[in-house]
Amino acid sequence: MIRLQKLLAGLGLGSRRTVEEWIRDGRVTVAGRTARLGDRAGPADEVRLDGRKLDLCSVSDASEVLLYYKPVGEVTTRRDPQSRPTVFERLPPPRGGRWISVGRLDVNTSGLLLLTTDGELAHRLMHPSTGIEREYLVRLRWRPGREAVDRLLAGIELEDGPARFSRITAEADGEPGGAANGSGGGSHSTFRVVLSEGRKREVRRLWQAAGFEVSRLLRIRYGPIELPRDMRPGTARLAAPAAYARLKAAAAAGAAVGRGSRAATSK
């Protein structure tokens, strides 16, 4: 017997967080009664979603991971009230379940978006406690100085709490040295930045707090998976089984570190 949200996420119906919302909304029943958070079930139980009986024996060991090169202009939702194109309109159908996005990319951000039919894996990869790295290529207006870079590495207080980059690496045109207040003759600079959480528009907000405007933002890595150099915007590619295994290992390792940190804090 396992928790409902974990069981249904394993069916590829949605992430664990999404399933929890369904349970709160009364959309899930177990043995004819409305389910509650904390309920458990097994393959022999009758579980229904919106009245439809679920096949609990169909949890597949052949879960898939899809790499998608999201272009600027698409939103990472299934439906958009503004009728903007969504990433799900371009995706090939999975063998089973449905695609679940591992986090989101802002409409003006392009690059690597991971999707999977493994809801439990998606939950682990997105959970803040796992500390999965995200790497971006950032094009800035103006050239930040060393003081600004050091501040971004040390941490800046945003409206939803402190945030920082764990690494900042200058590309050929982005060597620190210009004025940190944004004066630099209109020049641009490019950096690779790494952070270990996925708050909304966090990369842009960090640079903005330091006094710089992001003119282009491209995600080039999520955990151990890099954006293939031969992919083009709007294209998708199934990840090899080895890549799926690396993602599961990274999620498990991050979860173990998170549990260790919480245990140390509670002592």
Any idea which residues carry the catalytic annotation?
106
Nearest to 191 by CA among 210, 167, 209, 211: 167
Outline where the chain has alpha helix (H).
Answer: 4-10, 16-24, 119-126, 146-154, 202-209, 241-266
Nearest to 31 by CA among 21, 20, 42, 22: 42
Please check whether residue 138 is in contact with residue 246, taking contact to mean a CB–CB distance below 8 angstroms.
no
Side-chain half-sphere CA neighbours of 235 within 13 A: 9
Please check whether residue 154 is in contact with residue 135, taking contact to mean a CB–CB distance below 8 angstroms.
no
